[in-house]
Amino acid sequence: MMKLQNLATLVALVPYALGFPRLENFPEYRSLAGLSPREVRAVARTFSSTPGAQSLPPPISDTSAKVVYDSEHPYIPDQPGDIRGPCPGLNTLASHGYLPRNGVATPAQIITAVQEGFNMGWNVASLVTYMTFIVDGNHLTNLMSIGANTTADDEPTPGLNIHFNVEGDASTTRGDFYFGNNYSFNETLFDQLEEAANRVGNGFITIESASLHRALRINDSITRNPTFWFGSPRFVAAYLETTVPLAFFVNNQTLDTTLNLTLDVARDFYEKHRFPEGFVRRQGPFDVAEVEFMFAKIFPLINVPPGHNEGVGNYVVNPEDDGSSCYVYHRQVNLTAQLYPNPTPELEVAIKANLVTFYQTLHNSSCEQYFPYGQ
Ligand code: HEM
Ligand SMILES: *[C@@H]1O[C@H](CO)[C@@H](O)[C@H](O)[C@H]1NC(C)=O
Ligand SMILES: *[C@@H]1O[C@H](CO)[C@@H](O)[C@H](O)[C@H]1NC(C)=O
Ligand SMILES: *[C@@H]1O[C@H](CO)[C@@H](O)[C@H](O)[C@H]1NC(C)=O
Ligand SMILES: *[C@@H]1O[C@H](CO)[C@@H](O)[C@H](O)[C@H]1NC(C)=O
Ligand SMILES: *[C@@H]1O[C@H](CO)[C@@H](O)[C@H](O)[C@H]1NC(C)=O
Ligand SMILES: *[C@@H]1O[C@H](CO)[C@@H](O)[C@H](O)[C@H]1NC(C)=O
Ligand SMILES: *[C@@H]1O[C@H](CO)[C@@H](O)[C@H](O)[C@H]1NC(C)=O
Ligand SMILES: *[C@@H]1O[C@H](CO)[C@@H](O)[C@H](O)[C@H]1NC(C)=O
């Protein structure tokens, strides 16, 4: 009789035996997009659990300003094998144990961690997490990585780095995909963030300096990157990423985000993925109303609508893209249907349920709901 151990070995070898060497040791957090039904079945047999789609976690109850760099959340730099990615917020939460330190998490863990660690509002946290998870995550295991595996020498596992989604061009401290798909911190770009602060922020990162830096980054991409793409959700994310350092990286930030950010503190987050000593999260959540308040301030200063380059220097605006959450939802649903044209029955059940959860994060019954796999 076959021993259980041998059976496990056999199961692990299935993808290999079927001739899919690229699926050997397929990580549980890697997106299943692009795999055939046969490949999905083969890798799914190697997963230790497949919990499938989950519902949203409840909002946290205490949203006061409090010390979040405490003895229960020490800073430990990432170890070999730990995953870090393009988001300094999530990277920092992983380095302090608000997220699993290996950088692999469920949507619920991310939604809860960004509230606990930074006081991101529950509505915004749920929306941003699901709009990302739906196309970057693994629907069968309900896991997502917060970036690339920095120690992998084989094909990197993209996670949040999937391009043309939330990850995209004209980033604050990282180069465009076209110039090398680099999710790493870039000192030259950080220096430019500092120059903008010196020019219009008295040496601080302010609404004006952050907006100036973004406008310059966008102009740089327009003039040099023939593949520059700045449609939603990237468009929305880029504007959001202009405001969130002010909203979240300032110690004990006020409810209406009046305090400015020092470059030293910004570097702690962007480069080192760590809270400054004794860091106090903001006073109350940064949710939909707070985002809109900040957007109203930065839109006129940046003033580039959603669009893309058709050849260097030729930026073409997309009039259908209004950057609204309804539009972002529709675009992500379309993309999901393209990524999974022929899912296995199990995968289809999970994707359908996750699309329903994503729709719920909009909290707007006026947005049309879509069912690419039927109701
Ligand atoms: C709610 C879940 C979140 C998800 C799924 C997420 C995802 C991402 C992704 C994919 C990017 C890369 C976009 C690009 O190409 O520029 C990014 C960038 C960024 N995120 Fe997050 N994020 C989340 C929460 C947060 C939080 C809570 C903060 C701040 C505390 C934050 C701060 C930033 C900043 C500042 C950037 C821009 C980095 C740069 O351009 O150098 N994010 N995020
Ligand atoms: C945060 O700042 C407020 C004043 O804006 C102060 O009353 C409060 O004690 C501070 N909270 C912490 C935890 O330092
Ligand atoms: C990252 O890659 C390394 C080398 O391939 C591997 O040993 C490690 O297990 C991976 N870590 C994760 C979290 O996948
Ligand atoms: C990414 O940046 C790092 C350091 O910032 C550099 O060592 C690496 O070669 C870059 N990779 C690519 C693909 O550009
Ligand atoms: C950093 O960005 C600058 C300016 O875009 C670029 O010239 C340089 O090659 C980038 N460095 C790395 C390591 O990617
Ligand atoms: C970006 O380019 C546009 C068009 O050339 C120009 O009007 C605008 O002033 C530039 N923005 C910045 C911040 O230099
Ligand atoms: C932050 O910078 C702005 C300039 O953008 C300035 O008007 C404001 O007074 C600064 N806020 C504080 C609290 O220093
Ligand atoms: C989604 O797909 C439909 C059907 O192909 C198309 O009409 C619509 O414009 C797409 N919407 C977005 C936001 O991508
Ligand atoms: C809800 O969606 C409708 C339809 O797109 C839009 O007009 C409205 O502004 C949205 N409401 C909110 C509160 O975002």
**Three-state DSSP class for residue 286:** strand
Return the pLDDT at 168: 77
- Residue 53 CA from chain centroid, whole number: 19
Give the domain extent around 31: 1-48
Return the pLDDT at 147: 84
Kindly give the distance from the C-alpha atom of residue 162 to the centroid of ligand 1, in angstroms, as a whole number. 13
Q: Based on the domain organization, do 53 and 42 belong to the same domain?
A: no
pLDDT of residue 24 exceeding 80: no
Q: Based on the domain organization, do 117 and 191 belong to the same domain?
A: yes
List, for residues 101-118, the tens digit of each pLDDT value: 999 999 999 999 999 999
Mean local confidence (pLDDT), 24-49: 91
H-only helix segments in 227-305: 234-248, 263-270, 288-302
Q: Based on the domain organization, do 151 and 94 belong to the same domain?
A: yes
Residue pair 95/274 in contact (Cβ under 8 Å)? The answer is yes
Q: Answer whether residue 365 is part of any domain.
A: no
Q: Based on the domain organization, do 236 and 226 belong to the same domain?
A: yes
CA distance 182 to 175: 6
What is the total count of domains within the chain?
2
Q: Based on the domain organization, do 169 and 189 belong to the same domain?
A: yes
H-only helix segments in 225-365: 234-248, 263-270, 288-302, 325-339, 345-360
Peptide bond just before 233 cis, omega within 30 deg: yes
Ligand 7, atom 3: closest residue by C-alpha: 206
Q: Calculate what percentage of the chain has a pLDDT beyond 90.
A: 79
Return the pLDDT at 156: 46
DSSP state of 20: -
Cβ(321) – ligand 8 distance below 6 Å: no
pLDDT of residue 267 exceeding 90: yes
CATH for 75? 1.10.489.10
Mean local confidence (pLDDT), 247-256: 98
Return the pLDDT at 177: 78
Q: Answer whether residue 367 is part of any domain.
A: no
pLDDT of residue 307 exceeding 80: yes
CA torsion through residues 342, 346, 111, 184, sign: negative
Cβ(182) – ligand 4 distance below 6 Å: yes
**Tell me, what amino acid is at 77?**
P
Which of 337, 339, 327, 329 lies closest to 361, judged by CA? 329
pLDDT of residue 342 exceeding 90: yes
Q: Based on the domain organization, do 303 and 165 belong to the same domain?
A: yes
Q: Based on the domain organization, do 115 and 8 belong to the same domain?
A: no
Q: Answer whether residue 373 is part of any domain.
A: no
Q: Based on the domain organization, do 102 and 205 belong to the same domain?
A: yes
Whole-model pTM: value is 0.92
Residue pair 208/298 in contact (Cβ under 8 Å)? The answer is no
